[in-house]
Amino acid sequence: MASKSDPGYVTKDNFQFFCENVEWDGVYYQKKVCYTCKTLKPPRSKHCSACDKCIAIYDHHCVWINSCVGVHLGINPGLVLLGAILIFLTPSVIFFIIYQFSLIFRGTTTNELNKAKKWRSQIKRKILYRLKPINGKCTDNNKGPESDGKLKTFEKSDDFKADVWEPANISDIKNPYTELSFRKVLMYF
């Protein structure tokens, strides 16, 4: 769009229009003749060597759009930049929204997912253990308060007591919050 647009080429037809809208001030812009075009240059105009034309209210020649940024192309490069930003941001924003809704509908959090991933890895490496149930309840060495399937990691097998701890499995990892209900979903809104 911007590369095919007229950035404000100075022609014999529009020369007077550019001279009426922008006056020569005698300081910044003095009446000069373009050496290449051999015509009087309007104020704030410049000859672009890449386009080989004089451009009214010349800013620069942009290699990204292969055109000059002049009086008529002042907003289009901004739109091109905004469009590029939106193109690159939109997929990540959509992914983030989908991910957040999947967490909501699963009734879990990123923290809980990361913990479960860590525990699965520890089970696979056979370093995650759970307390052996005694009379249907898990207790910490039969001394401490009752716990519901307490999990612990042991990097070395000689650090744990085999009569108290047994290898954990995937069914030991239960998230009590994953049961989906309409009330839990509304909690996020």
Task: Select which of 48, 62, 68, 138 is catalytic.
Answer: 62
Q: How far is CA 98 from CA 103, 116, 180, 181, 182, in A?
A: 9, 20, 17, 19, 18
CA atoms within 13 A on the CB side of 84: 8
Write the DSSP assignment of 112-179 as a string of letters.
Answer: HHHHHHHHHHHHHTT-EEEEPEETTEEESTTTS-EESS-EEE-SSGGGS-TTTEEE--GGG---TT-S
Compute the distance between CA of residue 180 and CA of residue 108 in angstroms, rounded to an integer.
Answer: 9
Q: Based on the residue annotation, tell me whether 138 is a catalytic residue of this protein.
A: no
Compute the distance between CA of residue 186 and CA of residue 182 in angstroms, rounded to an integer.
Answer: 6
As given in the structure block, the two tokens for residue 44 are 């704030």
Q: Which residues are catalytic?
A: 62
